[in-house]
């Protein structure tokens, strides 16, 4: 069975004097399957919502109402470095070896953790960036100004310092602050969708490539958190009154796509939640979904983490109590990903132009498998060598050859001529012999 891990971050002081829970722990690494347990803890952190990012080697946590980011080493569970920026950080996300940060001034900061290179965009949002979502080629930023901006990641990371950093598109159908944002990982232009949640009690499903609003959904109260199914077939949202909603995109009555019977401008009212958080836990401040989309976790201000089994829609059960307001839930993939390099030491960001050194550990031979290596590991003649030999035999003789080969070729031709002459002479002699014998008989 695969080991399912998730990270939970808290924000604020302890709620009660519970000696079983350390007071200075701010981030927890939990194992959900096969049995729930705490695998690691990281101290001295207070991360607000959308301010936690995890790589294979490190944990990044932006601090509440501060311009600092704490970086922890996963292997040791220790604090490695504190990085200070010029503006307060409101949200973070990770794209490979690049940490992306949204500031309270509406800027995007990209920090290459293996080189220290830092890119800062102009203030394209007029208010703070509250949430972000990253895809293989794009970055989406949601803000308190009710707008969502779509950025080209390749252009943002361009080495040319004269390139202007501007968003490709602005999605502006919401009428209040954006509270959550999630995007599919599809690279197809027609299936590149994202879902945004807002304080205006609505969710909008977008095609962020074209900027088209595919469907608008209205809920009874403002929305606090959102997560998208790994296959982008459904999404789940929580509202400020504790209700939990499930929205199927391609059910019997599809909301988007060719099977949708209604126009995209038709607003859909969602009024029936699949679950309700207990009154003592309050509304969910963050959501997390397992890799197979069957279990949903919700974090609450009273410190509880509740588990919702989506297959049975049973009543939520408590899996952990962190004794502080849970602000972030982040699942990591249970399937290990192969990467060419691994970050060993974090390089602090550096403003200005200079030559950068890439600092990382190589996980494999960048050259790949060599011909000599294949020959050494093969039993007998390898398949490639046999194919080359057969193809060489099937090819005609080359017209250009060295001097020695040319002389040998001429000698062979002369011998063939002599042989052909002897065969012709033998044939004529045999023919005369047959004629003479037939005449005497």
Residue 19 lies in a domain: yes
Residue 254 lies in a domain: yes
**In this predicted structure, what is the pLDDT of residue 403?**
63
Q: Supply the DSSP symbol for 28.
A: E
Number of domains within the chain = 1
**In this predicted structure, what is the pLDDT of residue 1?**
58
Q: How far apart are CA 273 and CA 89, in angstroms?
A: 33
**In this predicted structure, what is the pLDDT of residue 441?**
67
**In this predicted structure, what is the pLDDT of residue 402?**
61
Residue 24 lies in a domain: yes
- CATH for 300: 2.130.10.10
**C-alpha 390: how far from its chain's center?**
45
Q: What is the extent of the structural domain holding 123?
A: 4-332
Among 359, 360, 364, 357, CA closest to 337: 364
E-strand ranges in 274-400 read 275-276, 284-289, 295-300, 304-309, 317-321, 326-332, 341-342, 361-362
As averages over each run of 10 residues, the pLDDT of the chain (441 residues) reads 88 82 89 90 95 96 96 94 96 96 97 93 96 97 97 93 90 96 92 95 96 96 95 95 94 87 89 92 94 94 94 86 95 81 86 74 71 74 78 68 74 88 87 82 67
Residue 264 lies in a domain: yes
Among 287, 255, 260, 256, CA closest to 274: 287
Residue 21 lies in a domain: yes
Q: How far apart are CA 203 and CA 226, in angstroms?
A: 9
Residue 394 lies in a domain: no
pTM strictly above 0.75: yes
Residue 387 lies in a domain: no
Residue 411 lies in a domain: no
**In this predicted structure, what is the pLDDT of residue 43?**
94
């Amino acid at each position: 069975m695969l080991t399912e891990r998730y990270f939970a971050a808290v924000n604020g002081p302890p709620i009660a004097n519970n000696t079983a829970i350390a007071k200075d722990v701010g981030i927890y690494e939990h194992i959900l399957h096969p049995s729930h347990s705490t695998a690691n803890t990281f101290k001295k952190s207070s991360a607000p919502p959308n301010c936690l990012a995890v790589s294979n080697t490190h944990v990044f946590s932006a601090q509440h109402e501060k311009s600092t980011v704490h970086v922890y080493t996963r292997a040791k569970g220790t604090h490695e470095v504190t990085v200070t920026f010029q503006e307060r950080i409101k949200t973070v996300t990770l794209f490979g070896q690049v940490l992306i940060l949204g500031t309270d001034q509406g800027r995007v900061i990209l920090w290459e953790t293996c080189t220290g290179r830092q890119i800062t965009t102009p203030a394209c949002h007029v208010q703070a960036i509250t949430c972000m979502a990253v895809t293989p080629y794009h970055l989406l930023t949601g803000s308190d100004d009710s707008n969502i901006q779509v950025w080209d990641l390749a252009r943002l990371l361009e080495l040319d310092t004269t390139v202007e950093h501007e968003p490709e598109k602005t999605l502006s159908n919401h009428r209040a602050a954006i509270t959550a944002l999630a995007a599919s990982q599809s690279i197809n232009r027609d299936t590149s969708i994202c879902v945004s949640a807002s304080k205006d009690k609505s969710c909008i499903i977008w095609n962020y490539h074209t900027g088209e609003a595919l469907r608008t959904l209205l809920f009874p109260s403002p929305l606090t958190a959102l997560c998208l199914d790994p296959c982008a077939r459904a999404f789940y949202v929580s509202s400020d009154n504790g209700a939990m909603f499930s929205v199927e995109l391609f059910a019997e009555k599809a909301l988007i796509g060719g099977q949708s019977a209604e126009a995209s401008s038709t607003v859909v009212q969602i009024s029936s939640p699949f679950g309700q958080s207990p009154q003592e836990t309050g509304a969910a401040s963050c959501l997390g979904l397992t890799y197979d989309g069957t279990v949903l976790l919700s974090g609450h201000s009273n410190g509880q983490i509740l588990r919702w089994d989506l297959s049975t829609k049973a009543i939520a059960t408590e899996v952990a109590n962190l004794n502080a307001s849970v602000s972030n839930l982040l699942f990591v993939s249970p399937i290990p990903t192969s990467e060419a390099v691994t970050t060993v030491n974090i390089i602090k960001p550096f403003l200005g132009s200079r030559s950068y050194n890439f600092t990382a550990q190589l996980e494999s031979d960048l050259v790949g498998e060599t011909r000599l290596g294949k020959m050494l590991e093969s039993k007998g003649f390898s398949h490639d060598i046999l194919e080359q030999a057969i193809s060489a035999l099937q090819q005609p003789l080359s017209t250009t050859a060295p001097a020695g080969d040319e002389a040998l070729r001429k000698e062979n031709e002369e011998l063939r001529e002599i042989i052909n002459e002897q065969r012709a002479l033998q044939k004529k002699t045999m023919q005369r012999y047959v004629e003479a014998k037939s005449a005497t008989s």
